[in-house]
């Protein structure tokens, strides 16, 4: 079982899912948005996977039993998690995953699902993106269920992806999570890899890029995969002939920053309360970070303890994370520059 965290996680998650499907492995693909319960996310996707499994003659009976378990699971938890919506293909089996207790019922459900997959000679892989948004008690239930399937050697696997705080959240939910999962960090690309990411697709189209232009892109993007795509796109659009020059990249930088301000950064900014914006603006005043919580509090002329709830809210929203105790860092690069652009001057201090 794997928990991915870092800036390139979603791309890798999609690639791993595609590889699993190519290998005829049953997959469940979920993105966990804020405000949705884990049962609501899992139930319809598991139903689809089980219907596919039920077409396997060897696993048909067990897959149908798993569908009965899913019916009981959804019915029992519907009162508690009112966002559960799933079609019911079979009547529930009394006593199977229908106690109304998520930790108990999810364990029972994944056990019978795993047994069906095992009988079919395949596996079920749960791909869950933005896993940091799953509430702690629901995350604990998922970890417990996966621990049980692992103990029984059932072929149910989780590949989760999330922001850097994911490891800490999973460890807090269940202390044994760090022994159960691997947590590779997918961070910014190193300079050689970042250059290849720009140069290779351009050369495939017969276009060269000057070395100084390439170095400028890597410097501007900090090797962040999505930003590399943005700068590459705008550099391509700015150039009128091969090779792409430093001047082209200069024009591309202005266009890329403007595009990010209107979409990537602005979407995040608009989710913030005025108090949260002020906190991030104080962080931005200190630079890219990470920053000590005390230094941020000093910029705001507040006590560290009074800012604790605001910091926690920003971590929950995925805006910042804590690389070490007492430190706070932006979850994406260049956000400090955006905050200084969108909240210029000193009016934000008032």
- Half-sphere exposure in the Cβ direction for 216 (13 Å, CA): 19
What is the pLDDT, as a whole number, of residue 1?
45
Residue 330 phi, psi (nearest 5): -65, 145
Sequence ranges of the domains in the chain: 2-186, 191-262, 272-349
Pick among 3.40.50.1100, 1.10.10.10, 1.10.3720.10, 3.30.200.20: CATH of 272-349: 1.10.10.10
Q: Are 164 and 201 contacting, i.e. CB atoms less than 8 angstroms apart?
A: no
Distance CA 90, CA 298 (A): 61
* pLDDT tens series, the chain, 350 aa: 444 444 455 555 566 666 656 556 778 788 877 778 999 999 999 999 999 999 999 999 999 999 999 999 999 998 888 888 888 788 999 999 999 999 999 999 999 999 999 999 999 999 998 888 899 999 999 999 999 999 999 999 998 888 888 888 899 899 888 888 888 887 789 999 999 999 999 999 999 999 999 999 999 999 999 999 999 999 999 999 999 999 999 999 999 999 999 999 999 999 999 999 999 999 999 999 899 999 999 999 999 999 999 999 999 888 999 888 889 999 989 999 999 999 998 888 87
Which residue pairs, CB below 8 angstroms and at least 24 apart, start in 196-205?
197/225, 197/228, 197/232, 198/228, 198/231, 198/232, 198/235, 201/232, 202/232, 202/236, 202/244
Nearest Cα neighbor of 26 from 53, 5, 7 is: 53
Token pair in block for residue 268: 């995040």
Distance CA 321, CA 165 (A): 6
**In this structure, are strands 26-31 and 2-6 parallel, antiparallel, or unpaired?**
unpaired
Sheet harboring 327-330: ordered strands across? 291-292, 327-330, 320-321
Please measure the distance between the N-terminal and C-terminal CA atoms of the chain and give it in whole angstroms: 48
**In this structure, are strands 156-162 and 124-129 parallel, antiparallel, or unpaired?**
parallel
Whether domain 191-262 has CATH 1.10.8: the reply is yes
What is the pLDDT, as a whole number, of residue 289?
85
Chain Cα centroid distance, residue 296 = 27
What is the pLDDT, as a whole number, of residue 2?
45
Pick among 3.40.50.300, 1.50.10.20, 1.20.140.10, 3.40.190.10: CATH of 2-186: 3.40.50.300
- Centre a 10 Å sphere on the Cβ of residue 18 and count the other Cβ atoms it contains: 11
């Amino acid at each position: 079982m794997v928990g991915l965290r870092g800036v390139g996680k979603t791309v890798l998650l999609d690639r791993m899912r595609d590889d699993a499907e190519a290998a005829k492995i049953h997959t469940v693909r979920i993105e966990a948005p804020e405000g949705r319960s884990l049962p609501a996310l899992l139930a319809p996707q598991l139903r689809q996977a089980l219907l596919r499994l039920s077409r396997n003659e060897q696993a048909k009976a067990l897959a149908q039993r798993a569908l009965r378990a899913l019916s009981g699971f959804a019915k029992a938890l519907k009162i508690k998690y009112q966002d559960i919506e799933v079609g019911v293909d079979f009547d529930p089996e009394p006593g199977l995953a229908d106690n109304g207790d998520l930790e108990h019922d999810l364990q029972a459900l994944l056990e019978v699902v795993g047994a069906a997959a095992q009988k079919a000679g395949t596996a079920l892989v749960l791909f869950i993106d933005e896993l940091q948004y799953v509430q702690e008690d629901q995350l604990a239930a998922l970890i417990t269920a996966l621990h049980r399937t692992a103990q029984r050697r059932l072929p149910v696997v989780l590949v989760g992806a999330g922001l850097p705080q994911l490891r800490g959240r999973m460890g807090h939910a269940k202390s044994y999570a760090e022994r159960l999962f691997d947590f590779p960090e997918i961070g910014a690309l190193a300079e050689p890899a970042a250059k290849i990411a720009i140069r290779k697709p351009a050369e495939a189209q017969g276009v060269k890029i000057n070395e100084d232009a390439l170095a400028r892109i890597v410097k501007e993007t900090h090797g962040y995969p999505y930003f590399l795509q943005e700068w590459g796109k705008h550099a391509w659009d700015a150039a009128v002939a091969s090779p792409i020059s430093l001047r082209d990249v200069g024009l591309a930088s202005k266009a890329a920053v403007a595009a990010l301000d209107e979409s990537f950064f602005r979407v995040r900014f608009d989710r913030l309360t005025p108090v949260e914006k002020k906190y991030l603006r104080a962080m931005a005043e200190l630079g890219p970070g990470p920053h000590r919580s005390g230094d941020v509090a000093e910029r705001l002329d507040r006590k560290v303890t009074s800012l604790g709830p605001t910091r926690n809210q920003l971590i929950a929203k995925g805006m910042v994370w804590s690389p070490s105790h007492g430190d706070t860092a932006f979850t994406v690069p260049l956000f400090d520059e955006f905050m200084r652009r969108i909240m210029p001057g000193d009016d934000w201090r008032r």
